[in-house]
């Protein structure tokens, strides 16, 4: 049977393609009159828009043209919109980037870098505070929640962590897709699932903002360092305009624009930055051959 995650990834891509309709060819090399920026729906769209407003305002001032933020209905929709030229740039997690780059010439150009850890972040697997689980292996036989099917820290890295502990989805645990990091955290806090995987930065912020009760959950395991998300150009964007955008990101020094990324700065990014994630995807694919959808 086709892996449920693979089914959802294909469904998202098909829906995104249908939404684009007949407007499939990417635009010819051009400098648009408006910069359209794609964002992933790691949380609710209003939250994502609010958190990224300082960056939008900074780019609008720096580039001297209107900047529009677009939050995709799901991760696949954002990736496909960039692939087909409906976005000019997008902030893609490593997995979303890798899946879309198989069928389009996408170009990463910048990524956030943080104090101490540099251009990396982590995922966590959390459990209810009173869960008897002491290790990931103790989750065998349970239902585990994940975010979007293409989310790096909300699905693929936690899934790799479980695989490294000897647990294969469909065989050792039931995979439950909830679509967003905050939904996963709430499901664990309310004991709807045995555990859940999500981004550590988002988990920490949800605790800080009292979106989830800190006494209701605990971290069972932290992931290895994950290469950071990458700002990525669509294919066909005017080279001179790309350079303007690149310089605008690398020179960001507005604390408010950097705040949502917890970043000290944006640094250059290239495709090989996410090679570690490629290896994790390959490991999951070896254990669950149907987990990775075919190229669209």
Q: Where among 224, 258, 278 does a domain terminate? A: 224
Decide: 144 and 194 in contact? Cβ < 8 Å.
yes
> Where does a domain end: 224, 242, 263?
224
- Contact criterion met (CB below 8 Å) for 93 and 150: yes
> What is the number of residues in the chain?
296
Indicate whether 113 belongs to any domain. yes
What's the rounded Cα separation, in Å, for the pair 197 and 217? 12
Range of the domain at 81: 35-117+227-287
pLDDT surpassing 90 at residue 12: no
pLDDT at 18: 41
Whole-prediction pTM: 0.85
Asked if 96 and 135 sit in the same domain, the reply is: no
Is there a single domain that holds both residue 211 and residue 250?
no
- The model's confidence at residue 90, banded by pLDDT at 50, 70 and 90, is very high
Residue 69 forms beta bridges with which residues?
37
Phi-psi domain of 116 (left: phi exceeds 0; alpha: psi -120 through 50; beta: other) = left
Statement: residue 260 has pLDDT above 80: yes
Q: What is the pLDDT of residues 187-245, one digit of tens each?
A: 999 999 999 999 999 999 999 999 999 999 999 999 999 999 999 999 999 999 999 99
Say if residue 233 is in the same domain as residue 105.
yes
Q: CA-CA distances (angstroms) from residue 285 to 6, 136, 156, 219, 291?
A: 10, 20, 11, 26, 6
Cβ contacts of residue 159 below 8 Å, gap of 6+?
Answer: 5, 146, 169, 175, 197, 284
**Do residues 65 and 208 share a domain?**
no
Query: What pLDDT shows up at residue 11?
Result: 45
85 lies in the same domain as 107: yes
* Number of domains observed in the structure of the chain: 2
Domain endpoint, select from 224, 240, 256: 224
* Structural domain contains residue 142: yes
For the cut 60, the answer to whether the pLDDT of residue 9 exceeds it is no
Check whether 5 has a pLDDT greater than 70: no
Q: Are residues 66 and 194 in the same domain?
A: no
CATH assignment at residue 189: 3.40.190.10
Average pLDDT of the chain? Answer: 90
């Amino acid at each position: 049977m086709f892996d449920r995650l693979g089914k959802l990834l294909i469904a998202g891509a098909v829906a995104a393609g249908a939404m684009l309709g007949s407007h499939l060819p990417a635009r010819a090399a051009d400098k648009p009159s408006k910069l359209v920026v794609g964002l992933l729906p790691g949380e609710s769209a209003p939250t994502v828009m609010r958190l990224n407003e300082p960056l939008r305002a900074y780019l609008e001032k720096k580039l001297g043209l209107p900047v529009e933020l677009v939050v995709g209905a799901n991760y696949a929709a954002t990736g496909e919109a960039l692939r087909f030229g409906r976005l000019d740039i997008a902030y893609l997690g490593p997995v979303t980037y890798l899946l879309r780059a198989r069928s389009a010439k996408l170009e990463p150009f910048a990524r956030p870098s943080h104090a101490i850890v540099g251009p990396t972040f982590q995922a966590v697997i959390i459990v209810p505070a009173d869960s008897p689980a002491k290790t990931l292996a103790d989750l065998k036989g349970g239902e585990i929640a994940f975010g979007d099917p293409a989310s790096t820290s909300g699905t693929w890295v936690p899934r790799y962590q479980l695989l490294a502990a000897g647990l294969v989805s469909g065989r050792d645990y039931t995979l439950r897709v909830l679509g967003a990091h905050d939904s996963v955290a709430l499901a664990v806090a309310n004991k709807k699932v045995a555990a859940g995987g999500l981004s550590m930065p988002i988990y920490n912020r949800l605790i800080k903002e009292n979106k989830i009760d800190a006494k209701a959950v605990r971290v069972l395991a932290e992931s290895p360092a994950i290469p950071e998300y990458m700002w990525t150009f669509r294919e066909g964007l005017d080279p001179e305009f790309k350079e303007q955008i690149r310089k605008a990101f690398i020179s960001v020094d507005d604390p408010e624009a950097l705040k949502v990324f917890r970043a000290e700065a944006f640094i250059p990014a290239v495709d090989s930055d996410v090679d570690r994630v490629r290896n994790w995807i390959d490991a999951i694919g070896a254990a669950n051959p149907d987990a990775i959808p075919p190229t669209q």
